[in-house]
Amino acid sequence: MKKYIVMAAIGTTVCLSACKKEFLQQNNPNAVTIENYFKTENDVLLAVNGAYQALRSSNTLGENSGLFTDERSDDTGRNDNQSNAGEPFQFNDFSLLPSNSYLKSHWLALYNSITRSNVILSNIDKVAFANPATKTNYIAEAKFLRALMYFQLVRKWGPVPLVTRQLVTTDEVTAATFRVPEVDVYNQIVADLKDGLNSSLPNFQPTAGIGRVSKAALNAYLGKVYLTMAATLPNNKAENLSNANTYLLAAYNMKAFGNLAEIPYADVFDVAKKTTCKELIFQISYKQGDVNYSSSIAANNQAKGETINSLKVATGIGGNVTLDLINEYEAADSRKDFSVKYANDPIVKDWFITKFRDASTGATLNGYGGNDWILMRYADVILMLAEVNMLQGNDALAIQYLDMVRTRAGMPGYAVSRTNAAYAAAFPTLKLAILHERRVEFAFEHQRWFDLIRNFTATELVTYLKAKPQSAFGIAKLANVTTKDRYFPIPFDEVKLDPVRMYQNPGY
């Protein structure tokens, strides 16, 4: 009896084919069963490549996944709550329903990606490797990708099902369908990332390996995970901050440049420099001019009447930007001029995103851009070090890190900025100054929502958001925000599987 593995939300389910011969072939004769697939090192490599490929999806971490992050925040949104924008509009409007189909797709895609890693890890021992280090590295890559997905899940939903092996039967899937405490999920993420540090992965990938994990990326993500744990879990705050500092410093000390100011901000997003920019730590690779593997973010964000992003002719607004973000940029901040522009078309008069550009002929008139999607870069490491030191009471050192990023942007240091009445009023604490710097530095890079939920409790977040003027937020209603919005609702279909063990988040 042959078994064919089918991807499911949490694991894999099994379809058993009939043993009886039939004149009509009921099973795909070209299908490769999982138990028969893993035979050579190349088979494992292809499976690992497939696990990386899952990152590209707009339902996981790809460039077009901002619906689940930026559009949940105060940076972007939608000015259309009708027609096909109805369900997406729920994210920014804080009216998200458990039945939202986009939410369900996000959940399923994250778990399907985890399944790809689990299949590799559960079958890799079947293959004999000429060099044991190759096997260790593939294991490290699969665990890293699994950790990335669980880091998304635990921050967005809180307690979630935790599966670390291939599930073969429906009974196994059913048994694994229950939410575990956040701390257990974080502990698994940490364990997966630390295992990678015991591999022979390089500190940075060579040009041919860009898009694959490195030890610099592992250290940087460990730092971010520990920082998030310190900010969101009730216990071991001091220990988690200490660990965050340790791993962030390890990543920082691996850098191949002197001062951040040596790397112009525009270079970070320059398609021609994406393989040589020393600030980049981990990115999703896209291929310019390729109909299947190109980037669409430049063309998607271009407004009607504009040509700055792409040669593709735009017909709409492009990426929506809230006036709240526009107002937060300080005067003379070069990042504003690079990241956003006001479109003054007879039909479209609004701010749009210009941070991601590929108007070269290589991208063609179809907008098949070559932008890579950056998931981790050194400005992030530096500002996380500022945040860690601020939380540890080392304000002087925190300000040094903060000023590294401000200097690169051509802005005065924190001490001088504090003498500016407008700056001091807008950011009266070092915490708010760092949060501000992260906002303008990483605008539209899918960081803002995570920064908000890391820096504020649910109650504080409601207060912070409701203090903003509605007029600067668009048509999404700030009055809708409540403490329930700290987490997404568990998709309705998942709760139905087991209403007790897959309980709904409060308020939904």
Instruction: Using alpha carbons, select from 63, 232, 244, 62 the residue that is nearest to residue 156.
Output: 232
Q: List the one residue out of 473, 470, 464, 406 whose CA is nearest residue 433.
A: 406
User: 305 — alpha (psi -120 to 50), left (phi > 0) or beta?
Assistant: left
Question: 197 is written with which tokens?
Answer: 């540090």
C-alpha of 215 from chain center: 18
Cβ partners under 8 Å of residue 242, min gap 6: 392
Q: From CA 263, how far away is CA 463, in angstroms rounded? A: 37
Q: How far apart are CA 385 and CA 259, in angstroms?
A: 15
Residue 6's pLDDT is 30
Instruction: Report pLDDT for 28.
Output: 65
484 touches 504 (CB < 8 A):
no
Q: What is the pTM of this model?
A: 0.93
Q: What is the pLDDT of residue 32?
A: 66
Six-digit token pair at 172?
């196994």
- Work out the angle at residue 34's Cα, subtended by the Cα atoms of residues 33 and 36, and round it to the nearest 5 degrees: 70
pLDDT string in tens for the chain (508-residue length)? 333 233 334 443 333 233 433 444 456 656 667 878 999 999 999 999 999 999 999 999 999 999 999 999 999 998 876 655 689 999 999 999 999 999 999 999 999 999 999 999 999 999 999 999 999 999 999 999 999 999 999 999 999 999 999 999 999 999 999 999 999 999 999 999 999 999 999 999 999 999 999 999 999 999 999 999 999 999 999 999 999 999 999 999 999 999 999 999 999 999 999 999 999 999 999 999 999 999 999 999 999 999 999 999 999 988 889 999 999 999 999 999 999 999 999 999 999 999 999 999 999 999 999 999 999 999 999 999 999 999 999 999 999 999 999 999 999 999 999 999 999 999 999 999 999 999 999 999 999 999 999 999 999 999 999 999 999 999 999 999 999 999 999 999 999 999 999 999 999 9
Label residue 300 exposed, middle or buried (CB < 10 Å: 0-12, 13-18, 19+).
buried
Structure tokens at 366: 């179809």
Alpha carbon distance 436, 14 (integer Å): 49
CA distance 474 to 92: 10
- Two tokens, residue 193: 């990332």
Q: What is the pLDDT of residue 82?
A: 63
Within 198-322, residue ranges assigned H as helices are 215-232, 237-252, 265-268, 297-300
Q: Are 432 and 452 in contact (CB under 8 A)?
A: no
Closest residue by Cα to residue 228 from 210, 213, 243: 243
DSSP element (H, E) containing 146: helix 132-157
**pLDDT at position 470:** 96
Token look-up 């309705």 returns: 492
DSSP code of 180?
B
DSSP H stretches of helix in 359-457: 378-391, 395-408, 414-417, 421-426, 430-441, 448-455
Contacts with 178 (C-beta within 8 Å, 6 or more apart), sequence order = 161, 498, 501, 502
